[in-house]
Amino acid sequence: MKKLLSVLVMTVAVLAAGCDKLSNKTPTFNNTDVTGLDYAKGFSLTDHNGKPRTLQDFKGKLVVLFFGYTQCPDVCPTTMAEMAAVMKELGPSAKDVQVLFVTLDPERDTRELLAAYVPAFHPSFIGLYGDMEATARTAKEFKLFYAKVPGTEPGSYTVDHMAGSYVFDRDGKLRLFVRHNGGPGPLTADLRQLL
C-alpha cells in the first residue's frame, strides 16, 4: 500500500509540474513576434498638439506605432480604420492602448493637418511629426524604407513606404510587427495577450 501511495504521489507531482510548464509557456501571436530585436529603441518627435514626445511618455500602455502620411490614398487610411476597429473590439481595455501615427511627409503634414486627420479615426490616436532630419533618423531607427515618388505636377508626389505597424509592450519593449491588411481580429487577440 505504501508503494502504491508513493507512486501516486510521484505521478501527481509530475503532472503538476507539467501543468505548471504549460501555464508558463510563451504566448503564440497572430502577428510576427519580434521580441528581442535590438532596434526601434525610441524617438523624439512632436505630437499634433505641439508637445514633444518620446516612447517613454507612453510607458504603462501598449503602443501601436504606424508610419504613413495623410495624403496616402489607400494603406494609411485602411490601417487607421483597422486600428479604430481594434480599439472598439478591446472595449474598456482600449484605455491601455495608445495608437501613434508618425508622418513620413513632414513637408505637407503640418501639426494642424495631423490634428484634424489622426483623431478623426479615434479620439485617443496621436499624430507625430518632426522635421526632415528627425523623420529620417526615426525611420532609420525602425529600419523603415520610405521614398518620395514625384507626381505629374509639382507638389503632387506620393510616398512609398513599408506598410506595417510596431507593437510595444507596457515596458516600452518592441514585441510585434503587424503586417498591413490583417484585419482587426488577429491584432485585437494579440493585444489582449500583451495586456
Q: Does residue 161 have a known ligand-binding role?
A: yes
Bridge partner residues of 128 (DSSP): 47, 102
Tell me the CA distances in angstroms from 77 to 11, 71, 115, one per residue in order.
56, 9, 15
Tell whether residue 19 is among the known ligand binding residues.
Answer: no
Does 76 carry a binding-site annotation?
yes
Binding site, annotated residues: 72, 76, 161
Output the known binding site for Cu cation: 72, 76, 161
